[in-house]
Structure 1
Amino acid sequence: MTRSRLVGLGLGIVLVVGVAPAASAEEIDVTAPMTWTVTGHGWGHGHGMSQYGAKGAATQGLGWKQIVGFYYPGTKLGRARGPIKVLITADKRDVQVDARDGLRLRPLTGRKTFELAKVRPRATRWRIVPKGERSVVQFKARSVWKRWASFPGAAEFTAGNRPMTLRLPHHDTATYRGSLRSVEKHTVNVLPIDRYVQGVVPSEVPTSWPADAVRAQAVAARSYAAYERAHATSYYDICDTTSCQVYGGAGAEDPASNAAVKATRGRVVTYQGEPAFTQFSSSDGGWSSAGSQPYLVAQPDPYEASSANPYATWTATLTSARIEKQWPSIGQLQHISFTRDGHGDFGGRILSATFSGSAGSVTVPGDDVRSLLGTDGRSTWLQLRPATTKDLVRQLFSFSFP
């Protein structure tokens, strides 16, 4: 480990910062078809806050401000309010909701709203069907869909803060607060940012964790959403999957996580006066990785050790045939070269990999290496070693990881 010094942070934390080590290289010759046992640390990209690290920090008595200060050094706290537009990725057709008290329809091109229970009191369901540049509104009564009206542009359903039941493809349903808007044959949930965070936090961490860990997650999620909103260029600000951050709507809410959202109401992490890109992942394995922003730093994480983290160390199996199938242009695999970041075991995380074979070679980013293991959840902080018979039997009967 390099020598380190102590520096003060904008959120009142003291952080150990080391001089960045030079990237290291690793060379692996492949003289025959191979099977490797892969040993790794952490789960996810490792940028910013470790969720298990936040749990460990809260267990040790740190408050949420100290936790976010540690994982996003050099940042400050600010506030963010206003609505956010969330793409509901599972719904790519009409916007269809169950009838309920207070359900209204609002065309976005005008100021008038329609109280639908008064318009068609016997309707059991309503939908907005996009037709070119117009929105056709239909209702269902006695199992038959009937046209009610048509409006220029987009339209949305709202019931105030009361949840609406959205009908999804394949007979699934989900509930959402705010409004459900039909835009370009997609459903967009528009709601206050704190209401949105209520549907994120319990989808990202267990609500039974220490309160300050859940509060830190609320602040990170709110900050991430505010950053995405500030940089949005489409008809939505953020999506509802792991490609952004997981959002389950009103149906995902939990009293404990709602309390965490309330306790941190409006608070966000900022950098130079703007919302910070507060990336987070399940586990950094004991050492975070450098990201795209100055506050997403590579640093030792002393808090994961006390978090009962099941992803601190994991194992998997990788074959040379799997690599050859992924990049068939290389032919038969003959050599692997890893460039690492130099932090921690194995020489640190893999930054890039070159796979060379009988027909050519390919150089790919480290994230492409972890995807070889069957899930993008695993870390790039990993090592290969030739598998033994004992390793293969252990892997066959192991159910520790998905």
Structure 2
Amino acid sequence: MNPAPFRSGLVLLAALTAGALALTDPPSRATGPGPSVARGIQVSGHAKVTVKGHGFGHGRGLSQYGARGAAEQGLNTRQILRFYYPHTTVGHKLRKIGVLITEDTDENTTVVNRSGLKVRQVHGTEKFTLPTKGRFGKAGQWRLSGGSGRSVRIRYRTKSWHTWKTMPSDAEFYAKKPIKLVLPGPDVAYRGVLQSRVPPPGTSTLGRVTINVLPLEGYIQGVVPREMPALWPKAALQAQAVAARTYAAFEARHSPNKMWGVCDTSSCQVYGGRSAETPMSNAAVADTRGRILLYRRAPAFTQFGSSDGGWTASLAGDPFLPAKKDPYEKRSGNPFHNWRFKIRVSKIEKAWPSLGRLRSISIDSRDGNGQWRGRVLELTLHGSAGDVAFGDPATPTRTVGIFTSTLGLRSTWFTITT
């Protein structure tokens, strides 16, 4: 998901959608050009331009600061969800889900040794209880790593690594209690099992990967405190739990492979495993156990983000993600409702060198909602050597989101002055 309050860098609070989605997502193209700005902002002779804007993220679906403000104004969970996701109905989903652990990139699945740790084939009959000691002494860590073909070597570490046994195909660690995975950063404990798998053909991920497979509720327990501060009002946390659970169900339903349905970053929604859980966020998950939002009897695409700036953004074809005025954000202590940056012209020229010298910037169309006629849909940089246009959803390198993310802007709802 989009940068959420937890991931925004605020020390006071405890992430890119949904879940979360990155600012590079194609925006909705709802209305025509804004005549007051289409003629262009002349920048020749200026060292900097000023960019003022609203919101943080794509603005679609639940605004996390809006949910906080709504809860503080007395709205309950159902009312918050009904506001941000109209035309949906309530359903239930209890299942398992696979999560790609993106930080584990060394093609090994390494865990901290503990009593009760076991290993087995993902598809097969072989399984072993791992001893606390091996031939070369006490085992501090266990590892699943690739052998010849699709085989997996089971290895343990004393002062160095030693091979204990080999399995003919993909394997997984499992135990009654959470298992601690060794990562480049701090180790993270995960519920469920940790698999070492070879990705299916056609995926962009190469080599062996680590996948956490666990019940959906356990997964949501690791998502909610990473997407929303656990000290926020109960109704806001519950709304976040339902949105995150629904988003996960939607992604799993539409996943191109059967090994995992979601990842653990803001490209999906941020997941921190058992290590991220708190009593308050777990209570919000338990209070909404299994609850999801349905559209036409299927999980809805419940995108969410940090701040919509006072207007939600629509997504064409999804009536449960409409553009509408949001009255709840402004009084929620939202630091992203209004923002301002000064950007050097030279930074823009360096980012797109084909411009030559930047002469002017024209905002060619907006979505028509809110101040300045809303979010930017099309924008052109005019330079001495040529123009660079943004706003083509079919070209990922030429969306307005690329412009905002390259320059570090917080949303596509902005205006530019010199």
Tell me the TM-score normalized by structure 1. Answer: 0.86
Aligned to 1:232: 255
Aligned to 1:24: 34
**TM-superposed deviation, 1:133:** 1.0
Q: Residue 367 of structure 2 aligns to which amino acid in structure 1? A: D
Q: Residue 228 of structure 1 aligns to which amino acid in structure 2? A: E
Aligned to 1:43: 56
Aligned to 2:221: 198
Question: Aligned to 1:246, what secondary structure does the other structure show?
Answer: coil
Aligned to 1:244: 268
Q: Distance in 2 between matches of 1:318 and 1:350?
A: 18
Matched, 1:79 2:92: yes
* 1:3-402 aligned within 5 A: 22-25=32-35, 26=37, 27-92=40-105, 93-117=107-131, 120=134, 122-131=138-147, 132-141=149-158, 143-160=159-176, 162-169=177-184, 172-184=186-198, 185-234=208-257, 235-292=259-316, 293-338=318-363, 339-364=365-390, 365-374=399-408, 378-386=410-418
Q: Say if 1:301 and 1:374 are closer, same or farther in 2 by CA, change over 3 A.
A: same
**TM-superposed deviation, 1:290:** 1.3
Q: Residue 237 of structure 2 aligns to which amino acid in structure 1? A: V
Q: Distance in 2 between matches of 1:297 and 1:248?
A: 30
**TM-superposed deviation, 1:254:** 0.3
**TM-superposed deviation, 1:255:** 0.2
Asked whether the equivalents of residues 84 and 192 of structure 1 are also in contact (C-alpha less than 8 Å), the reply is yes
Q: Distance in 2 between matches of 1:256 and 1:300?
A: 30
Asked whether the equivalents of residues 91 and 187 of structure 1 are also in contact (C-alpha less than 8 Å), the reply is yes
**TM-superposed deviation, 1:68:** 1.1
Q: Say if 1:118 and 1:40 are closer, same or farther in 2 by CA, change over 3 A.
A: closer
Asked whether the equivalents of residues 354 and 385 of structure 2 are also in contact (C-alpha less than 8 Å), the reply is yes
Q: Distance in 2 between matches of 1:152 and 1:79?
A: 38
Tell me the TM-score normalized by structure 2. Answer: 0.83
**TM-superposed deviation, 1:369:** 2.8
Q: Distance in 1 between matches of 2:133 and 2:303?
A: 46
Report how many residues are paired.
362
Question: Aligned to 1:324, what secondary structure does the other structure show?
Answer: helix
Asked whether the equivalents of residues 102 and 264 of structure 2 are also in contact (C-alpha less than 8 Å), the reply is yes
**TM-superposed deviation, 1:99:** 1.4
Q: Deviations over 1:71-97 (max 9, x none)?
A: 111111111111111111110121011
Q: Distance in 1 between matches of 2:247 and 2:197?
A: 23
Q: Distance in 1 between matches of 2:271 and 2:264?
A: 5
Q: Residue 241 of structure 2 aligns to which amino acid in structure 1? A: A
For the aligned residues, what is the CA RMSD? 1.7
Which 10-residue stretch deviates more, 97-106 or 219-228?
A: 97-106
Q: Residue 404 of structure 2 aligns to which amino acid in structure 1? A: R
Q: Say if 1:116 and 1:310 are closer, same or farther in 2 by CA, change over 3 A.
A: same
Q: Distance in 2 between matches of 1:362 and 1:153?
A: 50
User: Runs of 4 or more off by more than 6 Å in structure 1?
Assistant: none
Q: Residue 333 of structure 1 aligns to which amino acid in structure 2? A: L
More contact order relative to length (CA 8 Å, sep ≥ 6): 2
Question: Aligned to 1:245, what secondary structure does the other structure show?
Answer: coil
**TM-superposed deviation, 1:125:** 1.6
Identity %: 47
Higher strand share: 1
Q: Distance in 1 between matches of 2:334 and 2:48?
A: 28
Q: Distance in 2 between matches of 1:36 and 1:289?
A: 26
Question: Aligned to 1:169, what secondary structure does the other structure show?
Answer: coil
Task: Name structure 1 gaps, 5 residues minimum.
Answer: 1-19, 387-402
